[in-house]
A and B are shown apart, each in its own frame.
Chain A
Amino acid sequence: MYLDFEKPIEELENKIRDLSAIRESKPEVQSEIESLQKQLQEITRSIYERLTPWQTVQVARHPERPTIRDYIANLFTDFLECCGDRAFGDDPAICGGFATFEKFRVMAIGHQKGKTVEDNIRCNFGMARPEGYRKALRLMQLAAKFHLPVLTFIDTSGAFPGQDAEERGQAEAIARNLREMSRLPTPILCVVTGEGGSGGALGIGVGDRILMLGNAVYSVISPEGCASILWRDGSKAPEAAEALKITAPALLKLKVIDEIIPEPPGGAHRHPEGTMIAVRKALRKHLADLKGMSIKKLLNKRYEKYAKLGR
């Protein structure tokens, strides 16, 4: 699937594909293919270097972008999924379990988006209900009890706005996670991989280090929601996306995130393997850093980090 602004990429890729198909019978097209590939690289780079905030939102929401399952499969070994909040049920919009990252055993937790419609219906498009946040907290506390670091992968348009979710205390579930994560006595490393949608993202997003993929976004409200309230017109989302400062470089400047994990030009959906390499490198560095700190120091620094925001 190509995004609107990826038209030039689409055209070049189509041409390359057509030429490649006739390469066997016409070996002379080889040099043209090579030059087109070069052009493709350049044009992809130049488009992705200049993404507007609204285009970045499109990339962050790309249906082919890696999901928590891809990160688990590529970054971890020995994954054991754990289900349920021990109170109401299991929420497939949050996936979590034991995982091994290189030489560390960790607890990996993330929002689950799907790549197909059926997948997405099953995991509610990555929009968690209270039992999802409570499962996440249960697993984090379990991790802390046995001294495992917690890794969270954030990718949600927001907490699910449904009648049942409200009745089971969506607000309370998120609030409790914020409070408990701020004092959880084990390292917490958070990565915003796609959409960081408001409270639904923050509900598993309080930690010692907040990393963010280059084309991920993180916002207090969706650009559409902000546009419909402040501009009184949902179609002004591109303007709202600009005003809200939701891209990784903007958030780094605001000191809300600690590091940007660069995506290959063309985005994580086009180059998942390159993205995994970058994420692995960042996790390795920060995990080693955090593991080297005493829990007391870790918690004090975590507290100070949030105390300073907006001061």
Chain B
Amino acid sequence: MGWFSWKKKEKKPVEPPSAEELWTSCSACKGMLFKEEWIKAWKVCPICGFHEKLTARERINQLVDQKSFHEFDARITVSDPLKFKDDKGSYAEKAEQTKDKTGLKEAVITGRGKITDIRVVLAVMDFNFLGGSLGSGTGEKIFRAIEYALRHRMPLLIVSASGGARMHEGIISLMQMAKTSAALARLHEAGIPYISLLTNPTTGGVSASYAMLGDLNIAEPGALVGFAGRRVIEQTIKQKLPDEFQTAEYVRDHGFLDMVVPRKELRDTLGRLFRYLQNAKVE
């Protein structure tokens, strides 16, 4: 070891982690959480059970067998067909900021991987990217993932987390609902399994297209699932809605979700479900 490196080391003593690095608080119950444990539990609060949003990368790490994930179409990104501007600036600028902030190029990551050793095609949305909104790049990536599943006869999992269609791409965003649903029609006709996992939140144009079209629709506990926003509905009907309105459990009880599955059981449950959809014979 050289003289210089020795000196360098002395200058940078290892600092104990600050309290902020060690602790965080639950965004639902505000309880103090030991960060490392909370992250290990995939961001589920040990006190109240609140399921914090996961990024698409975190979700893939949680669900997919180690080192089995191969990403598709990583270069597909936002386009700006309307040259959209609002009073705060252009959509193009906003998209660039979002890309820098999230390290993503679109609101969905697609690819193939294994879930409990079953080969699946995945499309996992990320709410941090413009509210997980469905734009043309998002739609195209999902469309391609569905077509890949169709070509290779592989089961499909779409994990939704979205406020709905992306306003900034106008009608082209709306058309992504039709586009993805058309691809799902072909998957459906080919008899290839599709499970839709709805996470907090899944609303608007995403719930009104692929998220509700699974052979099985499952959701995480407490996830907001619906079409119209609570405020819009309250203004329309001039009534207060019950607290549990549009929660996963409420939507399940009204017949639109097969099951509500806690995050820690998701991977295992998905594996078991895909096995039912793939083979009548126990291997």
Please, what's the 1-or-0 string for B179-220, where 1 marks a CB less than 8 Å from any CB in chain A?
A: 101111110110000000000000111011111110000000
- Verify if A11 is at the interface (C-beta below 8 Å from B): no
Chain B residue with the shortest CB-CB distance to A220 = B174
What per-residue 1/0 map shows which CB atoms of A161-179 lie under 8 Å from chain B?
1110111111110111011
Q: How far is the CA of A310 from the CA of B78 in the complex (A)?
A: 10
Report which residue of A165, A202, A231 has the largest number of chain B beta carbons within 10 angstroms of its beta carbon.
A202
* Given A244-B82, A310-B172: A175 in contact with B213 (beta carbons within 8 A): yes
Asked whether A163 and B245 contact (CB < 8 A) given A169-B256, A179-B185, the answer is yes
Q: Which of B81, B82, B185, B210 contacts A182 (CB 8 A)?
A: B185
A178 and B254 in contact (CB under 8 A), knowing A246-B170, A310-B169? no
B166, closest chain A residue (CB):
A220
A6 in contact (CB, < 8 A): no
Docked CA distance A225–B86 (Å): 13
Residue-wise, chain A 147-190 has the 8 Å CB interface mask toward B (1 for contact) of: 00000000000011111011111111011101110110000000
Task: Pick from B139, B173, B181, B212 the residue with the most CB of A within 10 Å.
Answer: B181
Asked whether A310 and B167 contact (CB < 8 A) given A161-B228, A172-B212, A179-B213, the answer is no
A167 CA to B252 CA in the complex, in Å? 10
A-contacting 9-mer, from B13-21, B233-241, B260-268: B233-241
B-chain residues with CB within 8 Å of residue A199 when the two chains form the complex: 165, 174, 177, 204-205, 208, 227
With most chain A CB atoms within 10 A of its CB, the pick from B87, B167, B171, B185 is: B171
Question: With A182-B181, A221-B167, A243-B82 in contact, is A175–B212 under 8 Å at CB?
Answer: yes
Q: How far is the CA of A221 from the CA of B172 in the complex (A)?
A: 12
Check B211–A256 contact: CB distance below 8 A: no
* Residue tally, chain B, CB below 8 Å to A: 61
Judge whether B79 is part of the interface by a CB distance below 8 angstroms: yes
- By a CB distance below 8 angstroms, the chain A residues around B143 are 307
Closest residue to B254 on the A side, CB-wise? Answer: A167
- Chain A residues 109-142 with CB under 8 Å of chain B are none
Find out whether the CB atom of A162 lies under 8 angstroms from the CB atom of B175.
no
A101 at the interface (CB under 8 A from B): no
Which B residues touch A256, using CB under 8 A? Answer: 171-172, 175
- How many whole Å from B152's CB to the nearest CB in chain A? 18
Q: Which of A293-307 contact B (CB under 8 A)?
A: 302-303, 306-307
- Determine the chain B residues whose CB is within 8 A of the CB of A183 once the complex forms: 182, 185-186, 189
Is the CB–CB distance between B228 and A170 below 8 Å?
yes
Q: Give the one of B173, B174, B176 with max A CB within 10 A.
A: B174
Q: How far is the CA of A181 from the CA of B267 in the complex (A)?
A: 33
Contact of A229 among B167, B175, B185 (CB under 8 A): B167
Q: Given the complex of chains A and B, what is the CA–CA distance between A206 and B209 in angstroms?
A: 12
Complex contact A236–B87 (CB within 8 A)? yes
CA–CA, A198 to B239, complex, Å?
24
Which residues in B have their C-beta under 8 angstroms from that of A178? Answer: 177-178, 181-182, 208-209
Q: Which residue of B lies closest to A169 (CB)?
A: B256
A230 beta carbon closer than 8 Å to chain B: yes
- From 106 to 135 in chain B, residues with beta carbon under 8 angstroms from any chain A beta carbon are 135
The answer to whether B176 and A310 have CB atoms under 8 Å apart is yes
Give Cα distance in the complex from A167 to B253, angstroms: 9
Contact A254 B171 (CB under 8 A): yes
A205 to B146, CA, bound (A): 22
Listed by A's residue number, 17 A-B pairs whose Cβ atoms lie within 8 Å are A161-B232, A170-B208, A171-B208, A171-B226, A171-B227, A174-B209, A176-B212, A178-B181, A183-B185, A203-B208, A220-B174, A221-B165, A230-B167, A239-B86, A243-B86, A246-B170, A309-B179
Give B contacts to A, CB under 8 Å: 79, 81-82, 84-88, 135-137, 139-140, 143, 165-167, 169-179, 181-186, 188-189, 203-205, 207-213, 226-229, 232-233, 236-237, 239, 241, 245-246, 254-256
Given contacts A179-B185, A180-B185, 16 further A-B contacts (CB under 8 A): A159-B208, A160-B236, A161-B232, A163-B239, A175-B213, A199-B174, A202-B178, A203-B208, A206-B178, A206-B181, A244-B171, A303-B182, A307-B179, A309-B172, A310-B79, A311-B140
A contacts, CB < 8 Å to B: 159-163, 165-172, 174-176, 178-180, 182-183, 198-199, 202-203, 205-206, 218-221, 225-226, 229-231, 236, 239-240, 243-246, 251, 254, 256, 302-303, 306-307, 309-311
Give the 5 A-B residue pairs with the shortest CB-CB distance, closest first.
A310-B136, A161-B228, A182-B182, A178-B181, A171-B207
